[in-house]
Amino acid sequence: MTIFIGEIGTCDYETVLKHPSGCPKIISAHGRGWGWLDTLVTIFACLWVGYLLVGTVYRYFALGIRGIEVIPNLEFWLCLPQNAKSLLGSVIKRFRGPSQRHRSSYSPVNF
């Protein structure tokens, strides 16, 4: 390891630290590794599973709830697929524009 302290100007100093581990090379298996998106999805998945486990254990032991109702926010999780389908349909409709089947309540006016 080499440390160099030098003067650049009248009031400016420079410090250089040279070490073999200063700029390590990233080595991953087969030249491919996890990207930032894979890491983010994994973190959110672990947090979601942890939320369900902690919530289920709390509702089972502390509140004494039994059966399927032990899952926290069960109504939300049951409605989630329908809400996602509705949202996706709305977004698709917005980008496609009005469909041919859609009829306006107004009559066309010819001048």
> What is the mean predicted confidence (pLDDT) over 47-64?
96
pLDDT at position 18 over 80:
no
In angstroms, how far apart are the furthest CA atoms of the chain? 87
pLDDT at position 33 over 80:
no
> What is the mean predicted confidence (pLDDT) over 87-91?
91
pTM: 0.54
At 83 the pLDDT is: 96
Query: In which residue are the tokens 């930032």 written?
Result: 36
First-residue to last-residue Cα distance in the chain:
87
DSSP code, position 11: S
pLDDT confidence tier of residue 25, bands split at 50, 70 and 90: low
Chain centroid to CA 58: how far?
A: 26
Burial of 70 (0-12, 13-18, 19+ CB in 10 A): middle
